């Protein structure tokens, strides 16, 4: 399957091996070898379709599946965790220190949010996503996130959000999306480096969760990394549960 957004922004064919499934855990080396052969057959089709990069995702517990992908030429890109928060309970109040303000997003905030998100998401020490940990993809990380934010502000990828400001400068943002009439998702959250570790992420998150609840959304999900300790602490503190984990792997045609 072609990833149209990635292909359009990167300027070359990007595909996804999805779903990658098998009847059960690969129990021995022979079955891992067989799984790798199936993957190679899929990659031959990807090459025929002009794909330069193919992304595959498996559950974090599916080590055997990951080994089959590795044997076929895939390399580890990142590991993600999905959190789920039910919105039926009272959300705690969040306060801001003097000098900071929180307000709904405005169209004129887009450029500042693009720069903020690119700085945050393309820093492996802050957010080790596959877009910045893969040396071949890292040069395009900023461009990908610029377009991602633009798609949020257009309404394609997000429906509401807040920005955190220090004077006239945007130092944080949290944008959310309604997936359907019951499910919501935090699409983007980012804080400038100097404002991290001060409890400000929670202050941004609470108003967006309240907005989603007012739209009838019953639960919200976010995909994050275990290294994002502030995000993990905030969501677990609100009562969220870890719903899923996944390993992302990349295959490059030139490798």
Enumerate domains of the chain plus CATH numbers.
Answer: 4-73 (no CATH), 84-244 (3.40.630.30)
pTM surpassing 0.85? yes
Calpha distance 75→78 (Å, rounded)? 10
> C-alpha distances in angstroms, 70 versus 54, 57, 127, 132, 255?
13, 12, 24, 20, 13
Residue that has been written with the tokens 């070898």 in this structure:
33
Task: Provide the CB-side half-sphere exposure for 85 (13 A, CA).
Answer: 28
Bridge partners of residue 164, in order along the sequence = 102, 172
Identify the helix (H) or strand (E) that includes residue 39.
helix 29-48
pLDDT, tens digit (0-9, with 9 covering 90-100), for 162-207: 999 999 999 999 999 999 999 999 999 999 999 988 889 999 999 9
pLDDT, tens digit (0-9, with 9 covering 90-100), for 66-115: 889 999 999 999 999 999 999 988 898 888 999 999 999 999 999 999 99
> 164 in helix, strand or coil?
strand
């Amino acid at each position: 399957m072609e990833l149209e957004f990635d292909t359009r922004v990167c300027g070359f064919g990007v595909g996804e091996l999805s779903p990658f499934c098998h009847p059960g855990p690969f129990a021995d080396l022979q079955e891992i070898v067989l799984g790798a052969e199936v993957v190679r057959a899929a990659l031959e089709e990807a090459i025929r379709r002009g794909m330069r990069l193919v992304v595959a995702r498996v559950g974090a517990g599916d080590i055997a599946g990951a080994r089959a992908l590795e044997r076929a030429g895939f390399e580890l890109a990142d590991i993600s965790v999905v959190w789920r928060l039910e919105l039926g309970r009272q959300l705690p109040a969040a306060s801001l220190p003097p000098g900071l303000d929180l307000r709904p997003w405005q169209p004129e905030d887009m450029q500042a949010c693009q720069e903020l998100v690119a700085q945050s998401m393309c820093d492996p020490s802050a957010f080790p996503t596959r877009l910045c940990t893969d040396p071949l993809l890292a040069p395009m990380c900023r461009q990908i996130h610029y377009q991602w934010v633009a798609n949020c502000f257009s309404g394609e990828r997000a429906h509401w959000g807040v920005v955190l400001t220090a004077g006239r400068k945007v130092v944080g943002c949290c944008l959310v999306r309604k997936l359907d009439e019951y499910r919501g998702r935090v699409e983007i959250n980012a804080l400038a480096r100097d404002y991290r570790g001060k409890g400000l992420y929670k202050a941004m998150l609470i108003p967006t969760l309240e907005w989603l609840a007012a739209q009838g959304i019953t639960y919200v999900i976010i995909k994050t990394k275990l290294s994002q300790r502030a995000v993990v602490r905030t969501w677990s503190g609100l009562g969220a549960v870890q719903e899923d984990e996944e390993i992302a792997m990349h295959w490059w045609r030139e490798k």
